[in-house]
Amino acid sequence: MSIYNYKIKTIEGTETTLQPYEGKVLLIVNTASACGLTPHYKGLQSLYDAYKDQGLVVLGFPSNQFAGQEPGTEEEIKQFCELNYQVTFPLFSKIDVKGENAHPLFVHLVNHTPAPYHTGEIEWNFAKFLVDRAGNVIKQYSSRTEPEAIEADIKELL
């Protein structure tokens, strides 16, 4: 199954798929608002601002699986991101990204990341997956990888 076919919900609650992003370079991230890594939102937004006109889309998927660091409602998450980090890239409804209730999109991302770029199960908030224009997962980055460190890989795909 293609990453473009998984059913997801926008942060506003509208059911959709990733089909609208087909042909774009995607940086898919599991996010959290109360994490020590939350400032990654700033770097993610900077990448989006710098490269969106060339075909990059950052997609944020809030998850409350790691130490309860995303406890808010979708509306609270959206407001937090907009007010504190001026986030304009697409955000989606809260999901599980690992375990038996993991969203199929994240199961796909983890299972289709090629060696040696596969880091295994998502360990924490702000794990990042880079996907090429054809929907292939190119690399998985650890939560600690700063968004700016991914820029060269993004530019290669654009």
What b/e string do you get for 135-158 counting C-beta neighbours within 10 Å, with b at 16 or more? bebbbbbebebebeebbeebeebe
List residues with catalytic annotation.
35
Q: Which residues contact 147 (CB under 8 A, 6 or more apart)?
A: 27, 40, 43, 44, 46, 47, 128
* CB-based contacts of 145-153 (< 8 A; 24+ apart in sequence): 146/40, 146/43, 147/27, 147/40, 147/43, 147/44, 147/46, 147/47, 148/43, 148/46, 148/47, 150/27, 150/47, 151/47, 151/50
What b/e string do you get for 3-26 counting C-beta neighbours within 10 Å, with b at 16 or more? bbebebeebeeeeeebeebeebbb
